[in-house]
Structure 1
Amino acid sequence: MNAYIFPGQGAQFSGMGLDLYENSPLAQELFEKANDILGFHITDIMFEGSAEDLKETKVTQPAIFLHSVILAKTLGDSFKPDMVAGHSLGEFSALVAAGALTFEDGLKLVSQRAQAMQKACELQSSTMAAVLGLADDIVENICADTEGIVVAANYNCPGQLVISGDVEAINKACEALKDAGARRALVLPVGGAFHSPLMEPAREELAAAIENTTFSKPNCPIYQNVAASAITDENEIKANLILQLTAPVRWTQSVQQMIMDGASHFTEVGPGKVLQGLVKKIHRDAKTASATLESNA
């Protein structure tokens, strides 16, 4: 069975999407529509902006979403997913690709999500840290024992977990994790504590927007970050999407479940190859590939 997976924040690069724009009339039309919806020329930043320009949250999230979704749409009849999943932001790309959300509504929600997260980040000094080489339960226990707000945020693959919280608690937890034998406990260059209770203001803001958006039954199951299981019900999809901002990304568990449900080939749709690497670490024998415009040839 074919699983299509969609990357999240951090996969952006300067020049992203330019090949699609130049080689596909459909892509060109969708990019121009995106400029109109967003009210600024995101294509200029994607195609010509610096890495610094692309790091701004209000740009990063729509840029990755657009790259992924427009690439999926240019694949035409060759895009036949049996199941989809997206890492954090990538869940929105997956929902549009699977027909649960329109392109326009998906982009509007992603833009609102980015701005809501940016605002939440500015309310309190917070960050995230990558933890390598420790079992999940050890990381969870240390987070629970650390004073302040610090939680497991991204279960990326066995032995690789990202924690999220207020700066002081993250620093304390990193020291404790190193003492417990972590190979690395490294604070990440991010602007806030994504997928933690500190995103509650953003969750509330996004919840209203999601509730007012029409969702359709997807063409195939989506394995959502919160549930790590196959979801096809529109109301469940909405509820999980609202919970996603303050709940952990259960990527390891999602991929494991997809494999149990018959996934044998994972195609990453969007910038970068990070998810393919994670899939291989979760299940060494899984076949992985990148979607390319040429797939339509």
Structure 2
Amino acid sequence: MGKIALLFPGQGSQYVGMGKPLYELSPCSREIFDQVDAVQPGISTLCFEGPAEALNQTQNTQPCIFAVELAALAALKCIGVEAQGIAGFSLGEVTGLVAAGVLSMDNGLKFVKKRGRAMEEASQMTPAAMVAVLKLDNATVESLCHEFNQCYPVNYNCPGQLVVALLKDDQEAFLTRVKEQGGRGIPLTLSGGFHSPFMTYATKLLEQNIFELTFAAGSIPLYSNAYAKPYPESPVDIRDYILHQINHPVLWEQTIRNMITDGFTTFIECGPGKTLSGFIKKIDKSVTCYHVE
């Protein structure tokens, strides 16, 4: 019998109306939204009603997605679903820390709020953009990055899809080079160059807050984005992993491959959208994916 893993998506998956069905249909999910609103008033309203302009601001997006993901997790727990492992994409890794019992919900929400603000500040320092490159192998995309100053591969999503962070002024030239190589470039609607050196300032800001958090031993393995392996148990190492993730690439494809090697055959995506399920089907068609929203 294969193992079950929970997956939590990251920024970019948000949309106005997310989480509302969970709130209406699951008392357990409704309790999570009420708890989140008690700590940060207005989160539920922003998720359910928007406006999109406010929801898409990084400092708002992150706590909103965090709330929806925990609400989806609560709905699963209410019906007795138990997982043996967790992985979260970018922001979703913080939700994963809560789901694994490493971080309390209150501390997780406080950190997500500070994380969003820090990344927003870092984004304002350098005008950066993100582009998803399709139909090219990783080596070709990495080679294209070397042609530009401050251009970095940041999200290794699945075969044939690698996201790049670069200066906004270089975006059009980069898209042209991708097309010349036979690929397709899709500009992403994100406010900064996440998981790259553009976020080093955010990491420095969060270093000042990370020691306010209390960590416990996790109840199940949480796989790290930056290292594609389970988090360590030492609080010092956990802090390092959390900070390292912010300005280093998300090794999603390798993470999922390692989880499959470790015996995971069923993946349940908890949160807005089905992006991660789509990635997994391109990584290995033999596994089973479900989605809870």
Point out the more displaced range, 40-49 or 228-237.
Answer: 228-237
Identity of aligned residues (%): 37
Q: Which amino acid aligns with 1:201?
A: Y
Structure 1 equivalent of residue 202 of structure 2: 202
Aligned-residue RMSD, C-alpha: 1.6
Q: Which amino acid aligns with 1:58?
A: Q
Query: Unaligned stretches of 5+ in structure 1?
Result: 293-297
Structure 1 residues 90 and 150: alpha-carbon distance in aligned structure 2, compared to 1, 3 A threshold: same
Shift of 1:155: 0.6
Shift of 1:172: 3.0
Structure 1 equivalent of residue 226 of structure 2: 226
Point out the more displaced range, 110-119 or 199-208.
Answer: 199-208
Q: Does 1:63 align with 2:64?
A: yes
CA distances 1:205-264 after superposition (whole Å, capped 9, x unpaired): 122222321111111111110000122424333211101111011101100110011110
Return the alpha-carbon distance in structure 2 between the equivalents of residues 19 and 177 of structure 1: 40
Return the alpha-carbon distance in structure 1 between the equivalents of residues 57 and 219 of structure 2: 33
Structure 1 equivalent of residue 128 of structure 2: 126
Secondary structure, counterpart of 2:62 in structure 1: helix
Secondary structure, counterpart of 1:145 in structure 2: coil
CA distances 1:76-121 after superposition (whole Å, capped 9, x unpaired): 2623211100010110111111111100011111111111111111
Return the alpha-carbon distance in structure 1 between the equivalents of residues 34 and 59 of structure 2: 18
Contact 1:164-1:170 within 8 A present in 2 as well: no
Secondary structure, counterpart of 2:146 in structure 1: helix
Shift of 1:31: 1.9
Structure 2 equivalent of residue 290 of structure 1: 291
CA distances 1:169-225 after superposition (whole Å, capped 9, x unpaired): 33333322222221x112222211111111111111122222321111111111110
Q: Which amino acid aligns with 1:276?
A: S
Aligned length: 289
* Correspondence list, 1:1-297, <5 A: 1-38=3-40, 40-76=41-77, 78-146=80-148, 148-182=149-183, 184-234=184-234, 235-291=236-292
Shift of 1:45: 1.3
Shift of 1:69: 1.0
Q: TM-score, normalised by structure 2?
A: 0.93
Q: Which amino acid aligns with 1:215?
A: F
Point out the more displaced range, 230-239 or 110-119.
Answer: 230-239
Structure 2 equivalent of residue 295 of structure 1: none
Shift of 1:286: 1.0
Contact 2:14-2:65 within 8 A present in 1 as well: yes
Contact 2:16-2:50 within 8 A present in 1 as well: yes
CA distances 1:32-55 after superposition (whole Å, capped 9, x unpaired): 3322322x3111111222333321
Shift of 1:283: 0.4
Return the alpha-carbon distance in structure 1 between the equivalents of residues 143 and 179 of structure 2: 14
Q: TM-score, normalised by structure 1?
A: 0.92
Point out the more displaced range, 1-10 or 21-30.
Answer: 21-30
Secondary structure, counterpart of 2:165 in structure 1: strand
